[in-house]
Amino acid sequence: MPIRHRPPGRHAATMVALCALTVAAASPAGAQSVEVALIGLDGPVRLVAPRGDPRLFVVEQPGTIRVFAGDGTPLGVFLDVTDLTEEVGEQGLLGLAFAPDYPQSGRFFINYTDLDGDTRVVRYNVDPADPNRALAGSASPVISIDQPYGNHNGGHLEFGPDDLLYIGLGDGGSGGDPQNNAQNDASLLGKMLRLDVSGATGYQIPPDNPFVGAPPRDEIWAKGLRNPWCFGFDRLTGDLWIADVGQNEIEEVDVQPAGSSGGENYGWRLMEGSDCYNPPSNCNDGTLVLPIHEYTHGGTPFRCSISGGYVYRGSRIPGIAGRYFFADYCSCQIWSVTWTESGGFGDLVEHTAELTPPGGYLSIVSIGQDGFGELYVVDKDRDRIYRLVSDSTGVDDLPPAVRVEQNVPNPFNPGTTIAYVVPAGGTSVRLEVLDLESRVVRTLVDGRRPEGRQLAFWNGTADDGRPVPAGVYLYRLRASGVDETRKMVLIK
């Protein structure tokens, strides 16, 4: 986790002050700023959401996952595992990923360190009677990994475009990878794992994993990582971006192209970034994959540890589409880079000035992504999360078009949430539930609504309050000349 590297002799208060500083941006790509999205959190480390889901799920390191409506309205505690983990340094509840078929299966996965400090990846199910609550008793172990030290646990989970679960694991901790785990083919530490978790229990090895049947463990997808605290897939291209936390000198960004068959060695502990580490010279025999971007510790404000994010694929700020956003935990600087497999590294842009809120950040621990590809800055020590938005005076401030999203969950019982978008200035909206004969069953919204993404909830009842039969229903949005209809399925 990116809290390891603070300069000798500097204390927490000093680092807080430094994080409030800003640096002028260099030719920002598209006008943007941040707005407060969520407040009153308790040690947030991740913000994630199922694709197409308007809700926001926040992983809090002490052991809770909280769920919010898109407008920030609290919807309660989704899951509480505080009796299974403890926030000690870099340990605690560290990761959350929703299965690609989450609207149908209700399955999701968490990554935490147990009370012995070891990594546990566990599957849970949502409560079919309440989409904002998980079934605490549905826990099913996926994989467990012993951790020799209390730091460099990794912790992040992501489903790739291949619907397989990727798990980032640090080298086991201490400093300098004393057990050489990242280069040890018999260890899962310091690796990126790739697992098929579509079965009823546990996991299966994907047959095209690169080391199946060879000396490296079958679960391994890539190796030579120190602490891949944050990683993510480009929603458009499928490229895998990894922010790997460095040792004493260099922070790095690695990219695995979408067409890769896996097996990359990103170099640690042979190399830290593009420099030899152990041994101090002649460390690369030509097989190691170098970062596409790196930066050094030091400077003013003091840089110490990378906090990665995602390639922007949202719709609200077209000017930054295709840029990978990342930050530094200590300096609270924010940058973006571009890269393509054919053209390599494109450019680096610093966004600190325009993306720093009044009063600054205390610690940027990660950059999150919602169900629609919009990005969020997670400030752990301030217990707040900020949303990237288009600057109201910028050329990229395009009002959202009227649209209605697919309901979540679907199929559902007893209730489901429907998200819809209202254009700038607000407008009159009518949102109805219809049967297959196009007869109105329930009117959910009828009146003027403000600009932005709005939510409506249907509990499976008609306008007179009586439950309706199971089956296929339609919901129709009418606003500003738009007339859009989608299907949903109520099950009993």
| Residue-level pLDDT at 401 | 66
| Residue-level pLDDT at 31 | 53
Do 280 and 272 form a contact (C-beta atoms < 8 A)? Answer: no
CA angle, corner 372, sides to 412 and 387, nearest 5?
120
Domain 403-490 belongs to what topology?
A: Immunoglobulin-like (2.60.40)
| Residue-level pLDDT at 94 | 98
Distance of CA 133 to the CA centre of its chain: 20
Whole-angstrom distance between the N-terminal and C-terminal Cα of the chain?
A: 43
| Residue-level pLDDT at 395 | 31
In this prediction, residue 19 has a pLDDT band, given cuts at 50, 70 and 90, of low
| Residue-level pLDDT at 2 | 39
Do 305 and 332 form a contact (C-beta atoms < 8 A)? Answer: no
The answer to whether the predicted template modeling score (pTM) of the entire model surpasses 0.75 is yes
DSSP 431: E
**Whether the predicted pLDDT of 21 surpasses 50:** no
Digit-coded pLDDT (tens) for 38-93: 999 999 999 999 998 999 999 999 999 999 999 899 999 999 999 999 999 999 99
CA atoms within 13 A on the CB side of 244: 40
The structural domains of the chain, with segments of one domain joined by +, span: 12-390, 403-490
Digit-coded pLDDT (tens) for 416-471: 889 888 887 789 999 999 999 999 999 999 999 887 778 888 999 999 999 999 99
> Residue type at 97?
A
DSSP 406: P
- Give the sheet arrangement for strand 471-479, strand by strand: 440-449, 427-434, 471-479, 482-490
| Residue-level pLDDT at 342 | 93
Of the candidate ranges 183-187, 330-334, 410-414, 456-460, the one whose mean pLDDT is the lowest: 410-414
**Whether the predicted pLDDT of 9 surpasses 60:** no
The mean pLDDT value of the chain amounts to: 90
In this prediction, residue 5 has a pLDDT band, given cuts at 50, 70 and 90, of very low
Residues contacting 353, CB < 8 A, separation 6+: 22, 23, 24, 25
In this prediction, residue 408 has a pLDDT band, given cuts at 50, 70 and 90, of confident
Proportion of the chain above pLDDT 70, given as a percent: 92
Digit-coded pLDDT (tens) for 82-134: 999 999 999 999 999 999 999 999 999 999 999 999 999 999 999 999 999 99
CATH superfamily of 12-390: TolB, C-terminal domain (2.120.10.30)
| Residue-level pLDDT at 415 | 86
CA atoms within 13 A on the CB side of 55: 25
| Residue-level pLDDT at 406 | 85
Q: What are phi and psi of 182, to 5 degrees?
A: -65, -25
| Residue-level pLDDT at 30 | 56
Tokens of 419: 């998200």
Q: What is the DSSP string of 432-448?
A: EEE-TT--EEEEEEEEE
Using CA atoms, how far apart are residues 229 and 63, in angstroms rounded to an integer?
Answer: 17
Digit-coded pLDDT (tens) for 273-327: 999 999 999 999 999 999 999 999 999 999 999 999 999 999 889 899 999 999 9
| Residue-level pLDDT at 188 | 98
